[in-house]
Amino acid sequence: MKTLSVDHLLGIKYLSKDDISLIFKTADNFKRIINQPIKKVPSLRDITVANLFFEDSTRTKLSFELAEKRLSADVINFSSGASSVKKGETLMIPLIIF
């Protein structure tokens, strides 16, 4: 199994045992990459990662962003607290997965 059985990873409710195993194996591979002496590697070059935060969490945001940048991803951060969502507007984001 090389891909998840779900289209979007918004929670763990619908993940199978194989999905969870794949996530841990993938995380283990990225952990090895991050722990190399050369801190910035091209693993996610030309990939844009969007972080959507609906509750403030500075440590989580910074941890995610640091890991993404060390893997050479382009990072977009979105915080609902600093947007029109706070005023009650609807958030619609087109999601394109490659």
For the segment 59-77, the average pLDDT, to the nearest whole number, is: 86
Q: What is the pTM of this model?
A: 0.47
Half-sphere exposure (CA, 13 Å, Cβ side) for 30? 17
Least confident of 5-19, 64-78, 82-96: 82-96
Domain identity same for 48 and 87: yes
Overall number of domains in the chain? 2
**pLDDT exceeds 90 at position 17:** yes
Domain identity same for 16 and 49: no
Domain identity same for 28 and 50: no
Domain identity same for 73 and 50: yes
Segments of 1-98 assigned E as strands? 48-53, 74-79
CATH number of residue 67's parent domain: 3.40.50.1370
Q: Provide Rg for the chain, Cα atoms.
A: 15
Question: Which tokens in the block code for residue 87?
Answer: 């005023």
Q: Rounded to whole angstroms, how far apart are CA atoms 35 and 42?
A: 14
Domain identity same for 22 and 5: yes
For the segment 31-55, the average pLDDT, to the nearest whole number, is: 78
Q: 76 falls in which pLDDT band (50, 70, 90)?
A: confident
Q: 25 falls in which pLDDT band (50, 70, 90)?
A: very high
Domain identity same for 65 and 88: yes
- Cβ-contact 22, 52 below 8 angstroms: no
Domain identity same for 4 and 43: no
For residue 35, give the amino acid letter: N
Print the domain residue range for 29. 1-35
**pLDDT exceeds 50 at position 72:** yes
For the segment 79-96, the average pLDDT, to the nearest whole number, is: 61
